[in-house]
Chains A and B, each alone.
Chain A
């Protein structure tokens, strides 16, 4: 009984495994020049913040003064 079940299960598992290999994602990225398709970078939003801009300006003045 047990063995028979096993005999039945093995091809089933094998079939499933084979079918897995056949899967193809249809989720394709097509080219669209200039349009970003990747993940969102939180920095993009951050960089629009005037406080962020000001901080970098201050840093620049500190870095480049007196030399």
Chain B
């Protein structure tokens, strides 16, 4: 059984925000809600690295563990989803999430047809409504998995830094890339291990 995961390759990510707008486009995510964000460390100085972050679809999801109304569930391939009809928008999952994934649109923003409820990345797998229905799209966004497609963010990534799919397959791709990079003489060696000039 596949386990759906995201993986962002920091060597490849160029902070172009393609994943962010791909998500907005596929799910019609309104202004003010960002299911996915690109985080940059050491901005503007050598060592600058960016990664794209969204809900990581944890196997033992802390959000689900703390939810007072038990609105979270997990699909057979490991996608963590929630029921907005049940969600009370309390924000407890925000405490629990290690990645800051849950979003709480302001009461004025009737986001995804419901105000104040938690919204997060669905791995483009919709939610607990009839697959492909208008109700599902309005509340949760696209259900690309049901159409045999993967999340739009990873599918559209400019440099293929962001991968989404079965964890084992991601690992294969990433391992091959790392091996290829290892072929570069400056990737490994004395300088990298001990620092230049040692």
Residue A11 interfacial (CB < 8 Å)? no
Q: Are A48 and B70 in contact (CB under 8 A)?
A: no
Interface contacts (Cβ under 8 Å), in number, total 106
Residues of chain B within 8 A (CB-CB) of A27 are: none
Q: How far is the CA of A32 from the CA of B81 in the complex (A)?
A: 17
Q: Contact mask B138-162 → A, CB, 8 Å, 1/0?
A: 0000010110111000110000100
Chain A residues with CB below 8 A from B155, complex form: 63
> Chain B contact residues: over half helix, strand or loop, or mixed?
loop
Interface residues of A toward B: which range? 20 to 34
B21 CB to nearest chain A CB (Å): 18
| Nearest neighbor of B79 in chain A, beta-carbon distance | A47
Any chain B CB within 8 A of the CB of A31?
yes
Q: List 28 A-B contacts (CB under 8 A).
A: A29-B69, A29-B86, A33-B70, A34-B64, A36-B83, A37-B69, A37-B70, A37-B71, A37-B86, A38-B70, A38-B128, A39-B86, A41-B127, A42-B131, A43-B81, A43-B131, A43-B143, A44-B76, A46-B131, A48-B1, A56-B77, A57-B166, A57-B169, A59-B148, A63-B150, A63-B165, A64-B160, A64-B173
